Amino acid sequence: MTAVFELNHDKLRRDPRLAAIAIELDKQGPIDSPDAFNRYCRKSCRVWNEQFGSAPVGKTSAQFAALLGRVEQGGKEIIQTPWGGVVVTLHEHPRVEKYLVVRKGGYLALEMHEQKDERLEVKEGAGLILSRHAGDQSLKVEALAPGDQFHFEPGMEHCIIGTEDLLVFERSIDPKGMDQDLVFIYEPEKLAST
């Protein structure tokens, strides 16, 4: 069975700076396949860049650059990903704390967790988050800005899109073990090696 997700851009539409982005994203239709998911994420980044390319909304500091440098070097407590990477700052089972370092144009999987409870706080940059609470019909699309906080209980679908460089701090209780409770609904396409 294929998962189908309608998208709700109401929060974007209410912000005068983001209304044009909402109109363009409304044209995408539902996310109902890996291709539709990747097309939506890429278009989100493209229309954001068309709107704000010369004057980015989010700012990043030396902290983003330092954490991205650690990701690129690799090593202990680092998880390299196509979208950037993860810097683990605490792992005392079942508690995990980590930074999600998302490069501009990168996006995470549309995912959920069976047991993991996570809290996210945007530290730097800008992007979009897609999420759906139990009982909601559509994925709600919201802009991300420093200070924004989100709580994802088990079973909630969610995805982060880095429309600009983006730094998110995650605190979670992960009973199955770090990264053992990832239920990928749709994953980012693999990047072609150059």
What local confidence, expressed as pLDDT, does residue 191 receive? 54
Mean pLDDT across the stretch 162-187? 95
Mean pLDDT of all residues in 33-52: 97
Single-letter amino acid code for the residue at 141: V
Predicted confidence (pLDDT) at residue 136 exceeds the cutoff of 90: no
Domain ranges of the chain: 58-186
- For 149-157, what is the mean pLDDT? 96
CA distance 47 to 75: 35
The whole-number average pLDDT for the span 156-173 is 97
- What whole-number distance in Å separates Cα of residue 140 and Cα of residue 93? 31
Give 192's pLDDT tier (boundaries 50, 70, 90): very low
Higher-confidence position of 166 and 190: 166
pLDDT reported for residue 39: 97
- Tell me the pLDDT of the chain averaged across its residues: 94
Contact 28, 40 (CB under 8 A): yes
**pTM score, two decimals?**
0.95
- Give which of 138, 95, 142, 140 is closest to 118, Cα–Cα: 95
Q: Given a cut of 70, is residue 178 above it in pLDDT?
A: yes
Collect all residues with Cβ–Cβ distance below 8 Å to 38 and sequence separation of at least 6.
Answer: 186, 188, 189
Number of helical (H) and strand (E) elements in the chain, helices listed first? 4, 12
**DSSP run (H or E) holding 149:** strand 149-152
Return the pLDDT at 94.
96
For domain 58-186, give the CATH number: 2.60.120.10
pLDDT grade for 133, boundaries at 50, 70 and 90: confident
Give residue 147's pLDDT.
97
Please compute the mean of the pLDDT values over residues 16-29 and round it to a whole number: 95
**68-85 mean pLDDT:** 96
- For 90-108, what is each residue's pLDDT tens digit? 999 999 999 999 999 999 9
